[in-house]
Structure 1
Amino acid sequence: MLWGVSGPLFLLDYLGAVAVAVAVALAVRELTGRRARGATPDRVELAYLTDRALLACQVGVAALRRAGGVTVGELATLQAEGPPPPRAPGLVRALHTALRRPQTWAAVLADPDVGRALRRSVARLARDGWLLTPGQRRRVALGTLPLFAVAAVGVTRLVESAVEGRTAGGPASVAGLLLCCLATALGGWWLTEVPETGAAARRLLRRLRREHAELDPERRPVWQGRDTDALLTAMALFGPRPLLAVDPAFAVQVGVDPERDRPRPERRPARR
Protein backbone atom coordinates (compact mmCIF):
# COMPACT_ATOMS: atom_id res chain seq x y z
CA MET A 1 0.00 0.00 0.00
CA LEU A 2 2.87 2.37 0.76
CA TRP A 3 4.34 1.94 -2.71
CA GLY A 4 1.21 2.06 -4.82
CA VAL A 5 1.70 5.78 -5.50
CA SER A 6 4.62 7.77 -6.86
CA GLY A 7 7.04 9.63 -4.63
CA PRO A 8 5.62 13.14 -5.20
CA LEU A 9 2.04 11.94 -4.73
CA PHE A 10 2.95 10.07 -1.54
CA LEU A 11 4.65 13.21 -0.24
CA LEU A 12 1.50 15.22 -0.87
CA ASP A 13 -0.61 12.60 0.90
CA TYR A 14 1.89 12.61 3.76
CA LEU A 15 1.66 16.38 4.16
CA GLY A 16 -2.13 16.14 4.19
CA ALA A 17 -1.98 13.53 6.93
CA VAL A 18 0.40 15.74 8.92
CA ALA A 19 -2.03 18.66 8.63
CA VAL A 20 -4.87 16.50 9.95
CA ALA A 21 -2.72 15.17 12.83
CA VAL A 22 -1.64 18.68 13.81
CA ALA A 23 -5.26 19.84 13.75
CA VAL A 24 -6.23 16.95 16.04
CA ALA A 25 -3.41 17.71 18.49
CA LEU A 26 -4.23 21.42 18.63
CA ALA A 27 -7.96 20.76 18.98
CA VAL A 28 -7.38 18.44 21.93
CA ARG A 29 -5.11 21.04 23.52
CA GLU A 30 -7.63 23.87 23.09
CA LEU A 31 -10.69 21.88 24.16
CA THR A 32 -9.10 20.41 27.29
CA GLY A 33 -9.79 22.73 30.21
CA ARG A 34 -11.94 24.95 28.01
CA ARG A 35 -14.47 25.63 30.75
CA ALA A 36 -13.77 26.94 34.23
CA ARG A 37 -16.09 27.33 37.15
CA GLY A 38 -16.00 29.22 40.40
CA ALA A 39 -14.74 32.69 41.12
CA THR A 40 -12.17 34.49 39.00
CA PRO A 41 -8.67 33.94 40.43
CA ASP A 42 -7.33 36.70 42.65
CA ARG A 43 -4.05 38.44 41.89
CA VAL A 44 -1.92 35.89 43.74
CA GLU A 45 -3.60 33.07 41.84
CA LEU A 46 -3.25 34.96 38.56
CA ALA A 47 0.45 35.24 39.30
CA TYR A 48 0.60 31.47 39.73
CA LEU A 49 -1.14 30.99 36.40
CA THR A 50 1.34 33.39 34.80
CA ASP A 51 4.62 32.04 36.19
CA ARG A 52 3.93 29.54 38.95
CA ALA A 53 4.93 29.57 42.62
CA LEU A 54 7.80 32.08 42.71
CA LEU A 55 5.80 34.87 41.09
CA ALA A 56 2.81 34.10 43.32
CA CYS A 57 5.02 34.48 46.39
CA GLN A 58 6.57 37.68 45.02
CA VAL A 59 3.12 39.18 44.47
CA GLY A 60 2.07 38.12 47.97
CA VAL A 61 5.11 39.63 49.68
CA ALA A 62 4.76 42.79 47.55
CA ALA A 63 1.21 43.13 48.90
CA LEU A 64 2.60 42.93 52.44
CA ARG A 65 5.36 45.41 51.62
CA ARG A 66 2.95 47.96 50.14
CA ALA A 67 0.74 47.63 53.21
CA GLY A 68 3.74 48.57 55.35
CA GLY A 69 4.00 45.08 56.78
CA VAL A 70 7.48 44.01 55.66
CA THR A 71 10.84 45.60 56.40
CA VAL A 72 14.31 44.72 55.15
CA GLY A 73 16.82 43.93 57.88
CA GLU A 74 20.46 43.03 58.14
CA LEU A 75 22.03 40.11 56.30
CA ALA A 76 19.34 40.21 53.59
CA THR A 77 16.57 39.26 55.99
CA LEU A 78 12.91 40.24 55.84
CA GLN A 79 10.51 40.67 58.73
CA ALA A 80 6.79 41.31 59.01
CA GLU A 81 5.50 44.10 61.20
CA GLY A 82 1.90 44.56 62.18
CA PRO A 83 -1.07 42.50 61.03
CA PRO A 84 -1.58 41.27 57.45
CA PRO A 85 -3.92 43.25 55.16
CA PRO A 86 -7.62 42.60 55.72
CA ARG A 87 -9.17 39.81 53.63
CA ALA A 88 -5.70 38.76 52.48
CA PRO A 89 -5.44 35.53 50.44
CA GLY A 90 -4.21 32.43 52.21
CA LEU A 91 -0.74 32.62 50.67
CA VAL A 92 -0.30 36.23 51.83
CA ARG A 93 -1.26 35.24 55.37
CA ALA A 94 1.17 32.31 55.25
CA LEU A 95 3.96 34.63 54.09
CA HIS A 96 3.13 37.03 56.90
CA THR A 97 3.27 34.19 59.44
CA ALA A 98 6.62 33.02 58.08
CA LEU A 99 8.02 36.55 58.37
CA ARG A 100 7.09 37.11 61.99
CA ARG A 101 10.73 36.45 62.70
CA PRO A 102 13.58 37.67 60.45
CA GLN A 103 14.22 35.27 57.59
CA THR A 104 15.92 35.26 54.23
CA TRP A 105 13.79 35.00 51.13
CA ALA A 106 15.04 31.46 50.48
CA ALA A 107 13.94 30.42 53.98
CA VAL A 108 10.52 31.98 53.41
CA LEU A 109 10.02 30.00 50.21
CA ALA A 110 10.97 26.80 52.06
CA ASP A 111 8.60 27.49 54.97
CA PRO A 112 6.11 24.60 55.46
CA ASP A 113 3.13 26.93 55.94
CA VAL A 114 3.93 28.72 52.68
CA GLY A 115 4.18 25.37 50.91
CA ARG A 116 0.82 24.25 52.28
CA ALA A 117 -0.81 27.53 51.25
CA LEU A 118 0.58 27.12 47.74
CA ARG A 119 -0.74 23.56 47.50
CA ARG A 120 -4.19 24.71 48.62
CA SER A 121 -4.18 27.43 45.97
CA VAL A 122 -3.11 24.96 43.30
CA ALA A 123 -5.81 22.51 44.39
CA ARG A 124 -8.49 25.20 44.14
CA LEU A 125 -7.29 26.33 40.71
CA ALA A 126 -7.36 22.72 39.49
CA ARG A 127 -10.77 22.07 41.03
CA ASP A 128 -12.23 25.15 39.33
CA GLY A 129 -10.71 24.24 35.97
CA TRP A 130 -7.99 26.90 35.68
CA LEU A 131 -5.20 24.32 35.98
CA LEU A 132 -5.19 20.98 34.19
CA THR A 133 -5.45 17.80 36.23
CA PRO A 134 -2.95 14.97 35.62
CA GLY A 135 -5.62 13.12 33.62
CA GLN A 136 -6.26 16.13 31.41
CA ARG A 137 -2.54 16.59 30.80
CA ARG A 138 -2.24 12.95 29.75
CA ARG A 139 -5.15 13.47 27.36
CA VAL A 140 -3.39 16.43 25.75
CA ALA A 141 -0.16 14.44 25.44
CA LEU A 142 -2.02 11.51 23.86
CA GLY A 143 -3.47 13.90 21.30
CA THR A 144 -0.02 14.05 19.68
CA LEU A 145 0.04 10.29 18.92
CA PRO A 146 -1.36 10.76 15.38
CA LEU A 147 1.68 12.89 14.54
CA PHE A 148 4.07 10.16 15.61
CA ALA A 149 1.99 7.59 13.72
CA VAL A 150 2.23 9.64 10.52
CA ALA A 151 5.99 10.04 11.01
CA ALA A 152 6.29 6.28 11.51
CA VAL A 153 4.51 5.64 8.21
CA GLY A 154 6.95 7.91 6.38
CA VAL A 155 9.98 6.32 8.01
CA THR A 156 8.62 2.84 7.23
CA ARG A 157 8.35 3.73 3.54
CA LEU A 158 11.91 5.03 3.49
CA VAL A 159 13.44 2.13 5.44
CA GLU A 160 11.64 -0.69 3.66
CA SER A 161 12.34 0.89 0.28
CA ALA A 162 16.04 1.04 1.11
CA VAL A 163 16.15 -2.53 2.51
CA GLU A 164 14.07 -4.24 -0.17
CA GLY A 165 15.31 -2.15 -3.07
CA ARG A 166 11.93 -0.60 -3.78
CA THR A 167 11.70 2.90 -5.09
CA ALA A 168 10.41 5.68 -2.83
CA GLY A 169 10.60 8.23 -5.62
CA GLY A 170 13.33 10.39 -7.02
CA PRO A 171 16.09 11.97 -4.92
CA ALA A 172 14.01 15.11 -4.39
CA SER A 173 11.01 13.09 -3.14
CA VAL A 174 13.17 10.99 -0.82
CA ALA A 175 14.92 14.04 0.63
CA GLY A 176 11.62 15.85 1.03
CA LEU A 177 10.01 12.89 2.78
CA LEU A 178 13.00 12.49 5.08
CA LEU A 179 12.86 16.15 6.09
CA CYS A 180 9.10 15.99 6.57
CA CYS A 181 9.41 12.92 8.80
CA LEU A 182 12.02 14.69 10.92
CA ALA A 183 9.87 17.84 11.17
CA THR A 184 6.80 15.77 12.07
CA ALA A 185 8.61 13.94 14.86
CA LEU A 186 10.08 17.17 16.25
CA GLY A 187 6.67 18.87 16.09
CA GLY A 188 5.08 15.97 17.93
CA TRP A 189 7.82 16.10 20.58
CA TRP A 190 7.26 19.84 20.99
CA LEU A 191 3.50 19.37 21.37
CA THR A 192 3.99 16.76 24.10
CA GLU A 193 5.09 19.63 26.35
CA VAL A 194 1.69 20.13 27.96
CA PRO A 195 0.96 23.50 29.62
CA GLU A 196 -0.15 23.35 33.23
CA THR A 197 -2.83 25.95 32.59
CA GLY A 198 -6.07 25.08 30.84
CA ALA A 199 -7.54 26.83 27.81
CA ALA A 200 -9.87 28.87 30.04
CA ALA A 201 -6.93 30.21 32.06
CA ARG A 202 -5.00 31.12 28.92
CA ARG A 203 -8.02 33.00 27.56
CA LEU A 204 -8.43 34.81 30.86
CA LEU A 205 -4.79 35.88 30.96
CA ARG A 206 -4.91 37.11 27.36
CA ARG A 207 -8.05 39.13 28.06
CA LEU A 208 -6.68 40.70 31.24
CA ARG A 209 -3.39 41.56 29.54
CA ARG A 210 -5.31 43.37 26.82
CA GLU A 211 -7.41 45.22 29.38
CA HIS A 212 -4.34 46.26 31.37
CA ALA A 213 -1.98 46.75 28.45
CA GLU A 214 -0.93 50.14 29.83
CA LEU A 215 0.78 48.30 32.72
CA ASP A 216 2.97 46.19 30.44
CA PRO A 217 6.63 46.91 31.36
CA GLU A 218 7.50 46.93 27.67
CA ARG A 219 5.45 50.13 27.40
CA ARG A 220 7.45 51.69 30.24
CA PRO A 221 4.51 52.86 32.36
CA VAL A 222 4.98 55.70 34.83
CA TRP A 223 4.38 54.30 38.32
CA GLN A 224 4.25 57.58 40.16
CA GLY A 225 0.71 58.11 41.33
CA ARG A 226 -0.44 54.53 40.71
CA ASP A 227 -1.90 52.59 43.62
CA THR A 228 -1.01 49.18 45.03
CA ASP A 229 -3.74 47.44 43.04
CA ALA A 230 -2.14 48.57 39.77
CA LEU A 231 1.29 47.34 40.87
CA LEU A 232 0.05 43.93 41.99
CA THR A 233 -2.05 43.53 38.84
CA ALA A 234 0.94 44.37 36.67
CA MET A 235 3.12 41.85 38.51
CA ALA A 236 0.45 39.14 38.33
CA LEU A 237 -0.02 39.55 34.58
CA PHE A 238 3.44 40.57 33.31
CA GLY A 239 5.96 39.26 35.84
CA PRO A 240 8.04 40.90 38.60
CA ARG A 241 9.56 43.77 36.62
CA PRO A 242 7.08 46.41 37.92
CA LEU A 243 8.33 45.79 41.48
CA LEU A 244 11.87 46.40 40.26
CA ALA A 245 10.75 49.79 38.94
CA VAL A 246 8.87 50.79 42.13
CA ASP A 247 11.03 49.31 44.90
CA PRO A 248 14.30 48.06 43.38
CA ALA A 249 16.15 47.24 46.62
CA PHE A 250 13.25 45.19 47.96
CA ALA A 251 12.75 43.54 44.57
CA VAL A 252 16.32 42.25 44.64
CA GLN A 253 15.75 40.88 48.14
CA VAL A 254 12.80 38.78 46.93
CA GLY A 255 14.58 37.23 43.98
CA VAL A 256 13.96 39.65 41.10
CA ASP A 257 16.99 39.61 38.82
CA PRO A 258 17.94 43.21 37.98
CA GLU A 259 19.76 42.19 34.81
CA ARG A 260 17.19 39.82 33.38
CA ASP A 261 14.00 41.54 34.56
CA ARG A 262 14.94 45.18 34.08
CA PRO A 263 13.49 46.79 30.93
CA ARG A 264 16.01 47.12 28.16
CA PRO A 265 17.29 50.65 27.63
CA GLU A 266 15.92 52.38 24.60
CA ARG A 267 18.34 52.64 21.71
CA ARG A 268 19.34 56.14 20.80
CA PRO A 269 19.36 56.98 17.13
CA ALA A 270 22.83 57.04 15.67
CA ARG A 271 24.26 60.44 14.99
CA ARG A 272 24.79 61.30 11.40
Structure 2
Amino acid sequence: MLWGVSGPLFLLDYLAAVAGTLAVALAVRATTGRRARGAEPDIVELAYLTDRAGLACQVGMAALRRAGVVHLGELATMSVDGPPPPRSAQLVRALHAALRRPQTWAAVLADPAVGRALRRLVGRLVRDGWLLTPAQRRRVALATVPLFTVAAVGVTRLVDSAVEHRDAGTPASVAGLLLCCLATALGGWWLCEVPETGAAARGLLRRRRRAHAHLAPEQRPTWSDHGTDDLLTAMALFGPRPLLAVDPRFAVQVGVDPDRDRPTQQPKLARR
Protein backbone atom coordinates (compact mmCIF):
# COMPACT_ATOMS: atom_id res chain seq x y z
CA MET A 1 0.00 0.00 0.00
CA LEU A 2 2.82 2.39 0.78
CA TRP A 3 4.67 1.74 -2.45
CA GLY A 4 1.93 1.17 -4.99
CA VAL A 5 1.68 4.88 -5.91
CA SER A 6 4.16 7.39 -7.23
CA GLY A 7 5.83 9.97 -5.03
CA PRO A 8 3.67 12.96 -6.06
CA LEU A 9 0.44 10.95 -5.77
CA PHE A 10 1.46 9.60 -2.36
CA LEU A 11 2.17 13.17 -1.25
CA LEU A 12 -1.31 14.25 -2.33
CA ASP A 13 -2.86 11.31 -0.49
CA TYR A 14 -0.76 12.16 2.54
CA LEU A 15 -1.93 15.79 2.52
CA ALA A 16 -5.56 14.64 2.23
CA ALA A 17 -5.08 12.34 5.24
CA VAL A 18 -3.49 15.19 7.23
CA ALA A 19 -6.37 17.51 6.35
CA GLY A 20 -8.93 14.94 7.46
CA THR A 21 -7.26 14.05 10.75
CA LEU A 22 -6.56 17.72 11.50
CA ALA A 23 -10.21 18.59 10.88
CA VAL A 24 -11.28 15.85 13.31
CA ALA A 25 -8.86 17.01 16.01
CA LEU A 26 -9.94 20.64 15.69
CA ALA A 27 -13.63 19.71 15.65
CA VAL A 28 -13.28 17.67 18.85
CA ARG A 29 -11.41 20.54 20.50
CA ALA A 30 -13.99 23.12 19.39
CA THR A 31 -17.03 21.13 20.50
CA THR A 32 -15.86 19.58 23.78
CA GLY A 33 -17.40 21.46 26.68
CA ARG A 34 -19.74 23.36 24.40
CA ARG A 35 -22.68 23.22 26.80
CA ALA A 36 -22.57 24.82 30.24
CA ARG A 37 -25.13 24.67 33.01
CA GLY A 38 -26.17 26.98 35.79
CA ALA A 39 -25.45 30.67 36.22
CA GLU A 40 -22.68 32.42 34.34
CA PRO A 41 -19.40 32.85 36.25
CA ASP A 42 -18.98 35.87 38.51
CA ILE A 43 -16.03 38.26 38.28
CA VAL A 44 -13.67 36.10 40.34
CA GLU A 45 -14.62 32.98 38.37
CA LEU A 46 -14.14 34.84 35.08
CA ALA A 47 -10.65 35.74 36.26
CA TYR A 48 -9.95 32.06 36.92
CA LEU A 49 -11.13 31.16 33.41
CA THR A 50 -8.85 33.86 31.98
CA ASP A 51 -5.62 33.08 33.84
CA ARG A 52 -6.26 30.58 36.59
CA ALA A 53 -5.75 30.93 40.35
CA GLY A 54 -3.23 33.77 40.38
CA LEU A 55 -5.50 36.21 38.56
CA ALA A 56 -8.56 35.10 40.54
CA CYS A 57 -6.74 35.94 43.78
CA GLN A 58 -5.52 39.27 42.40
CA VAL A 59 -9.07 40.24 41.45
CA GLY A 60 -10.28 39.21 44.90
CA MET A 61 -7.59 41.31 46.55
CA ALA A 62 -8.42 44.28 44.31
CA ALA A 63 -12.05 44.01 45.42
CA LEU A 64 -10.95 44.18 49.07
CA ARG A 65 -8.55 47.04 48.37
CA ARG A 66 -11.18 49.09 46.56
CA ALA A 67 -13.53 48.51 49.50
CA GLY A 68 -10.95 50.17 51.73
CA VAL A 69 -10.26 47.23 54.02
CA VAL A 70 -6.75 46.21 52.85
CA HIS A 71 -3.76 48.25 53.98
CA LEU A 72 -0.09 47.92 53.14
CA GLY A 73 2.38 47.39 55.94
CA GLU A 74 6.09 46.99 56.42
CA LEU A 75 8.22 44.28 54.85
CA ALA A 76 5.79 43.77 51.93
CA THR A 77 2.95 42.71 54.23
CA MET A 78 -0.77 43.45 53.97
CA SER A 79 -3.57 43.39 56.52
CA VAL A 80 -7.28 44.13 56.85
CA ASP A 81 -9.06 46.33 59.37
CA GLY A 82 -12.72 45.94 58.42
CA PRO A 83 -15.26 43.41 57.17
CA PRO A 84 -15.29 42.20 53.56
CA PRO A 85 -17.79 43.80 51.15
CA PRO A 86 -21.34 42.43 51.39
CA ARG A 87 -22.12 39.36 49.26
CA SER A 88 -18.43 38.79 48.56
CA ALA A 89 -17.39 35.66 46.72
CA GLN A 90 -16.10 32.80 48.83
CA LEU A 91 -12.54 33.32 47.61
CA VAL A 92 -12.69 37.00 48.56
CA ARG A 93 -13.82 36.07 52.06
CA ALA A 94 -11.00 33.54 52.33
CA LEU A 95 -8.45 36.16 51.27
CA HIS A 96 -9.88 38.55 53.84
CA ALA A 97 -9.60 35.91 56.57
CA ALA A 98 -5.98 35.21 55.62
CA LEU A 99 -5.13 38.89 56.13
CA ARG A 100 -6.48 39.20 59.64
CA ARG A 101 -2.84 39.04 60.60
CA PRO A 102 -0.21 40.85 58.48
CA GLN A 103 0.83 38.55 55.65
CA THR A 104 2.97 38.70 52.52
CA TRP A 105 1.40 37.86 49.16
CA ALA A 106 3.18 34.51 49.08
CA ALA A 107 1.79 33.64 52.52
CA VAL A 108 -1.72 34.61 51.41
CA LEU A 109 -1.53 32.30 48.40
CA ALA A 110 -0.27 29.46 50.62
CA ASP A 111 -3.06 29.92 53.19
CA PRO A 112 -5.07 26.66 53.56
CA ALA A 113 -8.42 28.48 53.56
CA VAL A 114 -7.54 30.21 50.28
CA GLY A 115 -6.59 26.84 48.80
CA ARG A 116 -9.90 25.32 49.87
CA ALA A 117 -11.82 28.23 48.39
CA LEU A 118 -9.97 27.83 45.10
CA ARG A 119 -10.72 24.10 44.99
CA ARG A 120 -14.41 24.78 45.58
CA LEU A 121 -14.35 27.42 42.85
CA VAL A 122 -12.77 24.96 40.41
CA GLY A 123 -15.26 22.27 41.41
CA ARG A 124 -18.17 24.58 40.68
CA LEU A 125 -16.74 25.55 37.28
CA VAL A 126 -16.16 21.89 36.36
CA ARG A 127 -19.63 20.86 37.57
CA ASP A 128 -21.30 23.59 35.51
CA GLY A 129 -19.28 22.80 32.38
CA TRP A 130 -17.03 25.88 32.18
CA LEU A 131 -13.89 23.83 32.88
CA LEU A 132 -13.22 20.48 31.23
CA THR A 133 -13.36 17.28 33.23
CA PRO A 134 -10.36 14.90 33.10
CA ALA A 135 -12.34 12.63 30.76
CA GLN A 136 -13.06 15.50 28.39
CA ARG A 137 -9.42 16.55 28.36
CA ARG A 138 -8.37 12.97 27.53
CA ARG A 139 -10.87 12.94 24.67
CA VAL A 140 -9.35 16.11 23.20
CA ALA A 141 -5.83 14.71 23.58
CA LEU A 142 -6.75 11.36 22.00
CA ALA A 143 -8.18 13.18 18.99
CA THR A 144 -4.61 14.13 18.03
CA VAL A 145 -3.43 10.47 17.82
CA PRO A 146 -4.46 10.09 14.14
CA LEU A 147 -2.15 12.99 13.25
CA PHE A 148 0.83 11.13 14.71
CA THR A 149 -0.30 7.96 12.93
CA VAL A 150 -0.32 9.76 9.59
CA ALA A 151 3.10 11.26 10.32
CA ALA A 152 4.41 7.75 11.19
CA VAL A 153 3.16 6.41 7.85
CA GLY A 154 5.04 9.13 5.97
CA VAL A 155 8.24 8.55 7.95
CA THR A 156 7.93 4.79 7.41
CA ARG A 157 7.79 5.29 3.64
CA LEU A 158 10.86 7.53 3.70
CA VAL A 159 12.92 5.28 5.98
CA ASP A 160 11.96 2.06 4.24
CA SER A 161 12.73 3.57 0.84
CA ALA A 162 16.17 4.64 2.02
CA VAL A 163 16.96 1.25 3.62
CA GLU A 164 15.56 -0.93 0.85
CA HIS A 165 16.69 1.41 -1.94
CA ARG A 166 13.14 1.72 -3.23
CA ASP A 167 11.98 4.60 -5.34
CA ALA A 168 10.08 7.09 -3.16
CA GLY A 169 9.57 9.61 -5.95
CA THR A 170 11.41 12.63 -7.25
CA PRO A 171 13.70 14.58 -4.92
CA ALA A 172 11.08 17.31 -4.77
CA SER A 173 8.34 14.92 -3.64
CA VAL A 174 10.67 13.29 -1.10
CA ALA A 175 11.60 16.68 0.33
CA GLY A 176 7.96 17.70 0.36
CA LEU A 177 6.94 14.53 2.19
CA LEU A 178 9.72 15.03 4.74
CA LEU A 179 8.58 18.59 5.44
CA CYS A 180 4.95 17.51 5.66
CA CYS A 181 5.82 14.74 8.14
CA LEU A 182 7.66 17.25 10.30
CA ALA A 183 4.79 19.75 10.13
CA THR A 184 2.25 17.04 10.97
CA ALA A 185 4.20 15.87 14.01
CA LEU A 186 4.70 19.44 15.25
CA GLY A 187 1.00 20.19 14.72
CA GLY A 188 0.03 17.11 16.69
CA TRP A 189 2.45 18.04 19.46
CA TRP A 190 0.97 21.55 19.62
CA LEU A 191 -2.59 20.21 19.76
CA CYS A 192 -1.64 17.82 22.58
CA GLU A 193 -1.67 20.84 24.91
CA VAL A 194 -5.31 20.62 25.94
CA PRO A 195 -6.99 23.80 27.23
CA GLU A 196 -8.48 23.62 30.70
CA THR A 197 -11.47 25.70 29.63
CA GLY A 198 -14.31 24.29 27.57
CA ALA A 199 -15.76 25.69 24.36
CA ALA A 200 -18.56 27.41 26.31
CA ALA A 201 -16.07 29.23 28.53
CA ARG A 202 -13.91 30.34 25.60
CA GLY A 203 -16.99 31.65 23.82
CA LEU A 204 -18.12 33.49 26.95
CA LEU A 205 -14.73 35.15 27.34
CA ARG A 206 -14.70 36.24 23.69
CA ARG A 207 -18.16 37.81 24.03
CA ARG A 208 -17.29 39.58 27.26
CA ARG A 209 -14.03 40.92 25.83
CA ARG A 210 -15.82 42.28 22.78
CA ALA A 211 -18.46 43.88 24.97
CA HIS A 212 -15.82 45.49 27.21
CA ALA A 213 -13.16 46.19 24.59
CA HIS A 214 -13.00 49.82 25.76
CA LEU A 215 -11.57 48.59 29.09
CA ALA A 216 -8.62 46.73 27.54
CA PRO A 217 -5.23 48.06 28.71
CA GLU A 218 -4.25 48.74 25.09
CA GLN A 219 -7.04 51.33 24.92
CA ARG A 220 -5.52 53.14 27.93
CA PRO A 221 -8.84 53.93 29.61
CA THR A 222 -9.04 56.83 32.06
CA TRP A 223 -9.77 54.96 35.26
CA SER A 224 -10.93 58.09 37.08
CA ASP A 225 -14.00 57.87 34.84
CA HIS A 226 -14.69 54.23 35.78
CA GLY A 227 -15.81 52.62 39.01
CA THR A 228 -14.72 49.54 40.88
CA ASP A 229 -16.92 47.19 38.83
CA ASP A 230 -15.26 48.29 35.58
CA LEU A 231 -11.80 47.89 37.11
CA LEU A 232 -12.51 44.37 38.35
CA THR A 233 -14.13 43.44 35.02
CA ALA A 234 -11.08 44.70 33.11
CA MET A 235 -8.77 42.68 35.34
CA ALA A 236 -10.89 39.54 35.05
CA LEU A 237 -11.03 39.72 31.24
CA PHE A 238 -7.67 41.24 30.26
CA GLY A 239 -5.31 40.47 33.13
CA PRO A 240 -4.07 42.46 36.14
CA ARG A 241 -2.45 45.42 34.35
CA PRO A 242 -5.36 47.86 34.97
CA LEU A 243 -4.55 47.67 38.68
CA LEU A 244 -1.14 49.20 37.95
CA ALA A 245 -2.81 52.34 36.61
CA VAL A 246 -5.03 52.71 39.68
CA ASP A 247 -2.84 51.55 42.57
CA PRO A 248 0.69 50.73 41.37
CA ARG A 249 2.23 50.04 44.78
CA PHE A 250 -0.51 47.63 45.74
CA ALA A 251 -0.42 46.02 42.28
CA VAL A 252 3.29 45.23 42.63
CA GLN A 253 2.65 43.91 46.15
CA VAL A 254 0.16 41.33 44.81
CA GLY A 255 2.47 40.12 42.08
CA VAL A 256 1.67 42.29 39.05
CA ASP A 257 4.81 42.71 36.93
CA PRO A 258 5.02 46.32 35.63
CA ASP A 259 7.25 45.28 32.71
CA ARG A 260 5.21 42.33 31.45
CA ASP A 261 3.04 42.74 28.36
CA ARG A 262 3.34 46.50 28.40
CA PRO A 263 1.17 47.89 25.55
CA THR A 264 3.23 49.61 22.88
CA GLN A 265 0.54 50.98 20.61
CA GLN A 266 -3.17 51.56 20.58
CA PRO A 267 -4.89 49.01 18.30
CA LYS A 268 -8.25 49.47 16.70
CA LEU A 269 -11.29 48.35 18.63
CA ALA A 270 -12.58 44.95 17.64
CA ARG A 271 -15.62 45.07 15.41
CA ARG A 272 -18.82 43.90 17.01
TM-score of the superposed pair, with normalisation by structure 2: 0.96
Mapped partners of 1:133, 1:78: distance in 2: 36
Alignment RMSD (CA, Å): 1.0
TM-aligned CA deviation for residue 264 of structure 1: 3.5
After superposition, the C-alpha distances for 1:152-195 in whole angstroms (9 at most, x for unaligned) are 11011111111111111011111110110011001000000000
Mapped partners of 1:81, 1:108: distance in 2: 16
- Alignment-derived partner of residue 177 in structure 2: 177
- Alignment-derived partner of residue 212 in structure 2: 212
TM-aligned CA deviation for residue 263 of structure 1: 3.4
- Alignment-derived partner of residue 148 in structure 1: 148
Mapped partners of 1:165, 1:61: distance in 2: 67
Mapped partners of 2:15, 2:35: distance in 1: 32
Mapped partners of 1:51, 1:223: distance in 2: 22
AA of the residue aligned to 2:255: G
TM-aligned CA deviation for residue 4 of structure 1: 1.1
Number of aligned residue pairs: 266
Mapped partners of 1:247, 1:261: distance in 2: 18
TM-aligned CA deviation for residue 91 of structure 1: 0.2
Q: Is 1:135 paired with 2:138? A: no
Mapped partners of 2:109, 2:65: distance in 1: 16
- Alignment-derived partner of residue 8 in structure 2: 8
Contact kept? 1:240, 1:261, Cα under 8 Å: no
Q: Which runs of 4+ in 1 moved over 2 A?
A: 261-266
TM-aligned CA deviation for residue 261 of structure 1: 4.6
5+ unaligned residues in a row in structure 2: which ranges?
267-272
Contact kept? 2:28, 2:140, Cα under 8 Å: yes
AA of the residue aligned to 2:46: L
TM-aligned CA deviation for residue 262 of structure 1: 4.0
Mapped partners of 1:121, 1:22: distance in 2: 34
TM-score of the superposed pair, with normalisation by structure 1: 0.96
TM-aligned CA deviation for residue 265 of structure 1: 7.0
After superposition, the C-alpha distances for 1:196-240 in whole angstroms (9 at most, x for unaligned) are 000000000000000000000011111112110000000000000
- Alignment-derived partner of residue 250 in structure 2: 250
SS in 2 for 1:92: helix
Q: Is 1:18 paired with 2:11? A: no
Mapped partners of 1:178, 1:225: distance in 2: 57
1:52-67 equivalences under 5 Å are 52-67=52-67
Mapped partners of 2:56, 2:198: distance in 1: 18
Contact kept? 2:47, 2:56, Cα under 8 Å: yes
Q: Is 1:77 paired with 2:96? A: no
- Alignment-derived partner of residue 100 in structure 2: 100
- Alignment-derived partner of residue 122 in structure 2: 122
Mapped partners of 2:66, 2:259: distance in 1: 23
- Alignment-derived partner of residue 269 in structure 2: none
Mapped partners of 2:20, 2:263: distance in 1: 41
Mapped partners of 1:80, 1:27: distance in 2: 48
Percent identity over the alignment is 81
Taking structure 1 as reference, are residues 261 and 177 closer, same or farther at Cα in structure 2, changes over 3 Å only? Answer: closer
- Alignment-derived partner of residue 157 in structure 1: 157
- Alignment-derived partner of residue 31 in structure 1: 31
- Alignment-derived partner of residue 269 in structure 1: none
AA of the residue aligned to 1:49: L
